[in-house]
């Protein structure tokens, strides 16, 4: 018995192949669709998407489902690649996968699939490790009064909700995640004894999809001209070495300087002077902050009642998909921005990254980090915060006056827990 029609995004990898396999075995009428997002070859003249397309076609042939391809190169260029280049050139750290999911995979791709199916309510399945509160109820084609919630996958190591935090409730209402309640090893076990076992031959894709086998430097220098500058010791002002461009580094990154035995790490990149400020030691207190100021929050399932009622919310925070969740308190501000105060300090939070919020297993949404709060080094004396030159002291003085010293100060217990070596703080 055929349960109904569903489109499954096919990438050529094992995850999307197993997603389509599960749908087919359950009795759905599955159409496989491959998306082309990038059309340039790598440095040896090999287009990685040609191989992806070959495997995607092979998956559909093996499963005896139709195969189609959609071209989203323009959408990817405008909504993902150009913003990434703009941010990198200004010393910001942006995650292109987040933009790709928001604007391409769960927006433009959805519209293309609706046209293919001639059905504005067609359900699109993907191989992402995530879960929707609707589950298979998404296929019931009935009016959904309550917005669906984006939930963590059962496999917490593979969970991809961080990268999905900017998708809309409207997209989620028409999305199904067949792998959401499976662990990766179960997916592989299912694949190895199936028609799509050949997908296990492929290496799992990691990193930025369009770079291919090139180094990041070799790739990005085609779009942002190399602009040599100097590494400057933030405390002494001494020139410590030279670099090829601020866009090749991010805050907190270890930087092995020529002729220096000890490791230095990046504190700040100045796009105006092209200088990179560094400090000796990767765990210096200058890297540990306890608060971030974000842009307006994108709430996937709508504004939480607690925020609507009191302009604040206790929840959990992460700014990197592999980092542990940290308890926090979110405060909404009059200008639409948000202040997130963490219960524990985190290392190297960076402007341009995303502050992603969770409540239990639910991913609530997120927002871009606009400013990072004063560090442990700056807050040695909570009564007299010694702001660094690049910190917007006016903003943080105002926020500390309004919300108290927790915006920046640490307890002795926290500094000990995070192994901040106070004796090595430069004066």
3-state DSSP assignment of residue 7: strand
209 counts as catalytic: yes
**Residue 407: closest CA among 332, 327, 340, 318:** 340
**Residue 89: closest CA among 245, 214, 229:** 245
Pick from 90-94, 134-138, 213-217, 221-225: least confident: 213-217
Catalytic residue among 209, 315, 338, 363: 209
Q: Which CATH superfamily is domain 5-211 in?
A: HUPs (3.40.50.620)
Q: Where are the domains of the chain?
A: 5-211, 226-280, 285-424
Query: What's the CATH architecture for 226-280?
Result: Roll (2.30)
Pick from 225-239, 331-345, 404-418: least confident: 404-418
pLDDT digits (tens, 9 = 90+) for 44-82: 455 568 899 999 999 999 999 999 999 999 999 999 999
The per-residue pLDDT for 141 is 62
The per-residue pLDDT for 43 is 46
pLDDT digits (tens, 9 = 90+) for 93-126: 889 999 999 999 999 999 999 999 999 999 999 9
Overall average pLDDT of the 349-378 stretch? 97
Catalytic residue among 100, 315, 363, 379: 100
Angle at 354 between CA 203 and CA 150, to 5 degrees: 75
The CA-atom distances, in angstroms, between 113 and each of 32, 143, 405 are 10, 21, 51
Output the six-digit token pair for 25.
């075995």
pTM beyond 0.95: no
Residue 422 above 50 pLDDT? no
328 counts as catalytic: no
With cut-offs at 50, 70 and 90, classify the pLDDT of residue 145. Answer: low
The per-residue pLDDT for 12 is 96
Q: Compute the distance between CA of residue 357 and CA of residue 355 in angstroms, rounded to an integer.
A: 7
The per-residue pLDDT for 425 is 38
The per-residue pLDDT for 384 is 83
Dihedral, CA of residue 36, residue 38, residue 40 and residue 43, to nearest 10:
-110
pLDDT digits (tens, 9 = 90+) for 287-301: 999 999 999 999 999
Q: Which CATH superfamily is domain 285-424 in?
A: Translation factors (2.40.30.10)
3-state DSSP assignment of residue 53: helix
The per-residue pLDDT for 41 is 55
The per-residue pLDDT for 416 is 39
């Amino acid at each position: 018995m055929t349960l109904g029609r569903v489109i499954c995004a096919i990438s050529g990898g094992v995850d999307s192949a197993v997603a389509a396999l599960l749908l087919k075995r359950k009795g759905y009428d599955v159409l496989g669709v491959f998306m082309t997002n990038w059309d340039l070859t790598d440095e040896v003249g090999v287009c990685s998407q040609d191989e992806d397309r070959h495997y995607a076609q092979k998956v559909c042939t093996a499963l005896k489902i139709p195969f189609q391809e959609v071209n989203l190169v323009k959408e990817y260029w405008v909504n993902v690649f150009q913003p990434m280049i703009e941010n990198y050139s200004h010393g910001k750290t942006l995650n292109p996968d987040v933009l790709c999911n928001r604007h391409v995979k769960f927006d433009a791709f959805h519209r293309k699939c609706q046209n293919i199916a001639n059905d504005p309510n067609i359900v699109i399945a993907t191989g992402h490790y995530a879960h929707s509160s609707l589950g298979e109820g998404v296929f019931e084609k009935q009016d959904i009064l309550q917005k669906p919630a984006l939930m963590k996958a059962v496999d917490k190591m593979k969970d991809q909700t961080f990268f999905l935090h900017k998708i809309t409730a409207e997209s989620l209402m028409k999305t199904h995640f067949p792998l959401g309640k499976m662990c990766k090893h179960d997916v592989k076990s299912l694949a190895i004894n199936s028609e799509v076992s050949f997908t296990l031959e492929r290496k799992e894709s990691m990193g930025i999809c369009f770079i291919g086998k090139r180094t990041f430097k070799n790739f990005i220098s085609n779009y942002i001209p190399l602009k040599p500058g100097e590494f400057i010791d933030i405390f002494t002002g001494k020139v410590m070495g030279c670099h090829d461009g601020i866009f090749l580094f991010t805050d907190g990154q270890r930087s092995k300087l020529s002729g220096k035995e000890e490791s230095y790490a990046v504190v700040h990149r100045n796009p105006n002077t092209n200088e990179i400020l560094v400090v000796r030691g990767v765990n210096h207190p200058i890297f540990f902050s306890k608060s971030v100021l974000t842009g307006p929050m994108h709430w996937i399932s709508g504004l939480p009642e607690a925020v609507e009622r009191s302009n604040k919310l206790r929840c959990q925070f992460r700014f990197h998909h592999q980092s542990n969740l940290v308890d926090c308190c979110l405060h909404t501000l009059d200008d639409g921005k948000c202040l997130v105060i963490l219960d524990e300090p985190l290392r190297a939070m960076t402007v341009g990254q995303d502050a992603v919020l969770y409540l239990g297993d639910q991913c609530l949404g997120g927002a871009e980090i606009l400013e990072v709060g004063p560090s442990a080094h700056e807050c040695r004396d909570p009564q007299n915060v010694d702001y660094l030159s690049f910190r917007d002291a006016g903003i943080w003085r105002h926020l500390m006056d309004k919300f108290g010293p927790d915006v920046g100060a640490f307890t002795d217990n926290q500094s000990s827990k995070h192994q901040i070596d106070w004796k090595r703080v430069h004066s």
